[in-house]
Amino acid sequence: MLNILQHTPLWAFLVLAVVVTRGVSARFDRVVPVRKAVALPLLMLAWSLWRMLAMPQQAVLITLAWFVSAALAFLCCRKRGWPRGLLLDASAENLYVPGSILIPLVMGLLFLSHFSSEVIHGMYPAWGGSTPVLAGFALVYGSVSGLFFARAVAIWQLVASRRIAGS
């Protein structure tokens, strides 16, 4: 374990610090500009999909696993009505976001899965490139992407309903 940490690049620790800092702040209620609240989930969604499409040989199976898990996570979130408690201000420029433990957990899962995929690939190259391992990570990335997309859609719908009602 110590060997892994010693060979981890400094930037990985910086990313971990950002994930922890953002995760702690996500536990508390906050006001966020609507554009930022929509842009971040969409950027994360695009990054995740790009990682899946950049996979080598088994790209079709891996991408299919990603899409299936993203769709299932999205549908589950929509059915359960997540995220809850989002409110727009009168100008529809800012969004009130209630604190949640889910966001830091998802951010941590995403960091941990990416870090562990790199460790596996570095320590066991044959495993790191195998279809079952890559499909497993694709399922994690896809699920997280489905959550991000569900959040962006919920915000879009909130903004659209406010604009229709205010017209």
> What is the DSSP code (8-state) at residue 81?
T
Residue predicted with more confidence, 55 or 81:
81
pLDDT at 166: 54
Give the pLDDT band of residue 163 (cuts 50, 70, 90).
low
Residue 57 has pLDDT above 70, yes or no: no
In this prediction, what percent of the chain has a pLDDT beyond 90? 27
The closest of 91, 94, 110 to 35, measured between CA atoms, is 94
Domain locations along the chain? 30-97+109-166
Position 29 confidence tier, pLDDT thresholds 50, 70, 90:
very high
94 beta partners = 33
* pLDDT band for position 143 (cuts 50, 70, 90): very high
Mean pLDDT lowest among 67-81, 96-110, 119-133 = 119-133
Mean pLDDT of 7-29: 89
Cα distances from 91 to residues 55, 94, 95, 145, 161, in angstroms, run 43, 7, 10, 29, 13
> In degrees rounded to 5, what are phi and psi of residue 101?
-80, -20
